[in-house]
Chain A
C-alpha cells in the first residue's frame, strides 16, 4: 500500500463528520424498528457489521436491540471471525440466528458446480430461505456505497420483490427522510444504515469508539501464495496450486468473508490508528485488493443483487 497523500493530512484529519454519519445510522436503525414487524440485523462479525451493532447499541441501549441478529454461514468462514461473532452476540445478550449454506446443500436447494466452487454467491439462496422461514420483512446490512458501483446506486431503504430481487430501474424515490416502507406480503426491504460511510469513516469510527474487532483485521503472520497480484491465504480450502511457492508474510484483512474469495493485504498495521493512517494512503480499493470474485465483469455485483444477493 503505497503512500499517495501527504503525511500531514493525518494530523489534520477531522472526525467531526462521524457524528452526522452516526446520527443518520441511528435514525435509520430506529426507523426500521418502528416501521417493520419482523426486522433482523445481518451480523457476520466483520468490521462493518460491528460498526452497525455499535450504532444499534446507541440507538436502543445495550441489551435492548429490538431485533435478532442473523448470520448466513457459508461454512467457509475464518474461525477468528465466527468466534468473535458468537462472543459479541453473547456479550450483548442478543438473539443470534445462524443459517448455513451447508443445510441448503443438504436440502438440495443449493447445488455446487464443483466441490471447490465459492459458496459466496449461494448465500442468496440460504438468505431467501431464512427470510421465508422467519418471515423477515426488513434485513439491515452493513453495505456501503463506496464499495462498488452497483451499491453506489442503491437506496438506503431498498425494496426487494418476493424473489428477493433488486430492480434498479424501479427504485422508490427516497425523498427527504420520508422512507416509504410499505410492502406487499412476501416482499421485504434491505436497509443500509451506513450507506454513506467510506472505508476510512469506518476505521475512524472504530478508532474513536474503540470497537473491538476479530484479530485478523490487524497485522499477523500468515502463509500465503501470490496469485494474480493477490495474496491468497493458504488454508484447507485454498491450498497452493502446483508450482506456487508458499511464503509467510505480515498481513491483515481489509475485509473478511468467504475464505475461498477473501485475501489479506501486506501490512504492519497493528491497531486502528495505524489502519486509519494506512487507509488514507491506500491506492487500491477494498474490493480490488481483497476479492477474487468481483473481477469477472463490471456488472457482476448488479447481476448478483438482481438475483437476491445482499
Chain B
C-alpha cells in the first residue's frame, strides 16, 4: 500500500486513459465527514461559486456539508439519503463525484453509485477508533463498504483517514489505522491504491499536500485521484454487443450497405469488419460488413464504446439480442450469483421477477437462496429469504437463455437487475458467478 504518487504518474494524467472524467464515490459511516470532504474538495479546487457558498453560511461559519445535502428531508435529518452528483475540474482532469449515503438504510443508493464508479474513497473516522492501539478494530461500516466496492469491482480503492486533527497523536493514529487497514485489505483481497491522512474540516492533504503532517509526505487525496485510471474496458474478452437500437433504412434510397444498422455499446472485446458473429438467442450466424462509431464514421470499436454494425446478410436481429463472437460462451438458462437486495419487500425463494440483462428482459425465478452473507465479514449463513440491504448468493432459473459471463471476468455480461413484477421497483442487483 504505497501512498506516494510519483511525478511520472502525475504526468500520466495527460494520457488517454486519464482523459476521461474520473467518476468516484465517497463512502463511510454516517458522520465520518463525507459531505464535509466533498465540500472541501469543491471549495479548495474553486468549484464552488459565490452564491452557492453564501447559501451555506450559518452564523458566520461555512458548513461545508450543506453544499451537498440538497434535499429538505436530508437537512431535516442531517443525513445524506440519496446519491448527489457533483462536478469539478482541475487543470488536468474533470471529476464526477457520487456522494453516496453512509446510512445502512440507504445501502441501495450506495450500490447505485458504486456500480458505475472508477474509484472509491473510503473514509475512516480516526476519532471513532482506538487509535492508540496497534491492534485496533475497524468499524463494521468501513469493512462493509470496502467489501461492497470490492465485490462490485470498483477498479481503485483509496482510504482517507479523516479527523486526524482531532486526535492527540495524529502520527501514531495514522500509523495504527493504516496498519489495521493493511491487515483487513490483505485478508479480503482488496488492493488499496493509497492511504491518505486528511482533515476535511481543516483541509489538510485534501487538495494541497500538507508535508509532514501525521508523519506523511505523500500526495494529497486530490493528487491521488488525478492519477487514477478510468475503468479499463474489457477488451481482452471475446466480442459481445447487446443490441440497443435497430436503425432501418426502409425510407432511404441507400441500400448499398445492407439494410439495417445494429447499434449498441460493445460490452467486451473489439469489433471490426470480417468479425464472424452469432446472434443470441436465434443462433443465426453472419459476418460483420461494416462498423460505425458514435458519429457514424467507419472505424473499429472497442469495449466501452458505441458501435453501429452492418452485417453481410439479412438475419433476424432485434433490440435485446446479443451479437457474440463464435468463441463466446454459450447462453445459459440457469444462473448463480451474488445478489444485493434493494427492495423493501424481501426476496422470496420460488418467486418470479423480471430480469434485465443488457437490453433484454426475461422472467427469472429464484430457485433457492443458497446463503446470506454476513454483511460485516462476508461469511456465509443459511437463509430462505433476503431482506432489504442484505447480500446473498442465489440460484436463478431463466425463462430464456442469456449470454452471461462471470462478473469477475466481464462486468456487463456479468450483471443483471431484478425488477418486481407487481411494483416495478428495482429489487436486486445480481453479479453472476
Contact = CB atoms under 8 A, between A and B. Distances in A.
A9 B72 contact: no
Interface stretch (A83-91, A179-187, A232-240, A250-258): A179-187
A58 B294 contact: yes
A177 B265 contact: yes
B205 interface: no
Interface in A252-269: none
A72 to B, nearest CB: 25
B411 interface: yes
B426 interface: yes
A171 interface: yes
Interface string B275-303: 00000000000000000001110000000
Contacts of B111: 173, 175
Give the dominant DSSP class at B's interface: mixed
B309 interface: no
Interface string A15-39: 0110111110011001101110000
Interface string B67-111: 010111101000001111111010110101000000000001101
Contacts of A282: 49
Contact of B20 (A17, A172, A298): A17
B281 to A, nearest CB: 17
Interface string A181-213: 011100000000001101011000000000000
Contact of A9 (B21, B91, B411, B417): B91
Contact of A173 (B55, B91, B108, B416): B108
B85 A183 contact: no
A296 interface: no
A4 B356 contact: no
B73 A168 contact: yes
A149 B84 contact: yes
B276 to A, nearest CB: 25
Given A26-B306, A175-B429, A182-B354, A298 B72 contact: yes
Interface residues of B, number: 60
Contacts of A35: 359
Interface in B37-74: 46, 49-52, 55, 68, 70-73
B393 interface: no
Contact of A26 (B68, B72, B294, B357): B294
A106 interface: no
B419 interface: yes
A261 to B, nearest CB: 16
Contacts of A228: none
Contacts of A168: 71, 73, 81-82
A153 B84 contact: yes
B141 interface: no
A169 B73 contact: yes
B115 A152 contact: no
B116 interface: yes
A269 B7 CA distance: 38
A299 B49 contact: no
A123 to B, nearest CB: 22
Contacts of A201: 94
A146 B356 contact: no
Given A173-B342, A180-B419, A27 B49 contact: no
A5 to B, nearest CB: 7
A160 interface: no
A153 B82 contact: yes
B422 to A, nearest CB: 10
Contacts of B411: 176
Given A175-B111, A175-B115, A182-B419, A22 B294 contact: yes
Given A23-B305, A168-B71, A285-B51, A176 B116 contact: yes
Interface string B342-357: 1000000000001011
A60 interface: yes
A174 B108 CA distance: 9
A191 to B, nearest CB: 14
A288 B415 CA distance: 41
A289 B245 contact: no
Given A177-B116, A198-B87, 9 more contacts: A16-B20, A17-B19, A19-B294, A30-B244, A145-B86, A152-B84, A169-B82, A180-B356, A284-B51
